Amino acid sequence: MDPYRVWLSEVMLQQTTVAAVTPRFERFVTKWPTVEALAAADDADVFAEWAGLGYYARARNLLACARKVAARGGFPASAADLRGLPGIGPYTASAIAAIAFGEAAPAIDTNIRRVIARLHALERPSDAEIEALLGNMIPAGRAGDFIQALMDLGATICRARAPRCDHCPLRTDCQAFATGQPEAFPAPKIKTVRPQRYGIAWWIERDGAVWLVRRPHKGLLGGMAALPSSDWGDSLAPDVNALSMVRHVFTHFALDLKIVRAGEPIGEGWWHPVDRLADAGLPTLFKRAAALAVAARRPCAAA
């Protein structure tokens, strides 16, 4: 299997559903059919195409990795060497090595972890336990097929809720099934409370265009197009006359972002037609903020 497509799909699927990824994957490989084509792409074009998939550090690492792979003449074939590339962690390295190159690498995603935990009725297994148990199961010469089969099994049959045990080919050996409570394994993670942050985004409109900036390449939403905004801190944003407010939940915190009208451009940026905001490549947070601003603006704003 083409390691470029395996790598791209695995990166896109990190923390993102198959339904959301599938059409975006097809668009990506149509625009950039090889790792060399992606390596030569303009950063802004890739960031714009990534908009809406979230976890935008992945887009930066995607470009960095593509350029490193293109420079070396292709993907390395082992999980150990793949881990040296930008944005490729232990799971992604093992998945590429197993699926694209047939290495008996124990690739452990959420679905596989759940299957192995249920097979052995493990409530809170460690990474080392899962890796050892999975490694002992991989058949010689069939690593890629086996890993993909377990992923599919976890996604479609051994589901987190309402597992379809009656359709599972492993149920006779499954210790969780034998308990009569397969959903109890593995035990749910303890949820942590996300801290709350606040900020302001400025809506600056002139002659039917809005002022956009590019966020710093390092940091959250790095390199993405955005409305100019303040730092996001723990203190409530000033009590200003806001057009609207958008609430957005990131991995590690929740954000309340007020959208406030301003008159003059802020920072380095460009004017983008309001009626073509869908083409601006805004990430979800700023896409929602822009939509709220457009809905709330006064009729004279576009004059």
Active site residues: 10
**Which pair of structure tokens corresponds to residue 186?**
């593995």
Q: Supply φ then ψ for residue 206, to 5 degrees.
A: -155, 130
Choose among 69, 129, 80: nearest CA to 103: 80
Estimate to the nearest angstrom the gap between the alpha carbon of 78 and the chain centroid.
Answer: 24
C-alpha triplet 14, 16, 19: angle, nearest 5°: 130
| Residue 185 CA: distances (Å) to CA of 123, 194, 267, 299 | 5, 25, 51, 57
**Helix, strand, coil abundance in the chain, percent, nearest 5:** 45, 15, 40
Choose among 108, 111, 5, 16: nearest CA to 55: 16
Placement of tokens 């035990």 in the chain: 187
**Alpha-carbon torsion, ordered 51, 55, 56, 61, to 10 deg:** -130
What would you measure as the largest C-alpha separation in the chain, in angstroms? 71
The answer to whether 87 and 62 are in contact (CB under 8 A) is yes
Placement of tokens 């805004």 in the chain: 282
**Which pair of structure tokens corresponds to residue 59?**
């887009």
